[in-house]
Structure 1
């Protein structure tokens, strides 16, 4: 897992057909196949697909959740982009 994604790359993955990626901190996670397992339901993952979900993730989860699911779901990191 050495892939890097721009936020624009992640934004393209915002539906079940296109794949559902979310950003947490600097990690990119493919939650496409996880939506049916998500305890909070698929609706919340669909709402944040293609977006940075860091704030919402930490509101409802602790570090243990990220450690548990990272090996299965993390597909890369967000590359730094120039700020204008």
Structure 2
């Protein structure tokens, strides 16, 4: 028997932005999934303030802008409590972690054009300027 998945409206999520007292309750939405991140407040490497700022809202864009690692994305599963209601969904899809250290030119096979634009063109301009300067000085 398959357990039915819980579905929450965005108005339900908005009610869970309580960060003070014994009744702390911090929920957020990332990629149309609802997470109760209350227990993660003290553990978040960026501090609890950023989680509190994103409490009760769809924080997908903020989550992606930071460039969370694949480990951080896997940790979300622990705090998952349900799906966002169909009416409130944005349709955003998790594209995975950003590849900060990857050279996109090398991946696409365009490393030659990258070398040309990075080294050959500036060196050619510098050489042309040096020759023009020398010609100018000699012709005087």
State the TM-score, normalized to the length of structure 2.
Answer: 0.54
Equivalent in the alignment of 2:10: 7
State the TM-score, normalized to the length of structure 1.
Answer: 0.86
Runs of 4 or more above 2 Å deviation: none
Report how many residues are paired: 81
1:38-57 deviations in Å (ceiling 9; x for gaps): 00000000011001100000
- Counterpart pick for 2:75 among 69, 75, 78: 69
Task: Tell which structure's C-alpha radius of gyration is larger.
Answer: 2
**CA apart distance, 1:18:** 5.0
Q: Tell me the distance in 2 between the aligned counterparts of 1:56 and 1:74.
A: 18
SS at match of 1:40: coil
SS at match of 2:87: coil
Higher helix share: 2
Higher strand share: 1
1:9-34 deviations in Å (ceiling 9; x for gaps): 00000113351000001110111010
Q: Considering only aligned residues, what root-mean-square deviation do their CA atoms show, in Å?
A: 1.7
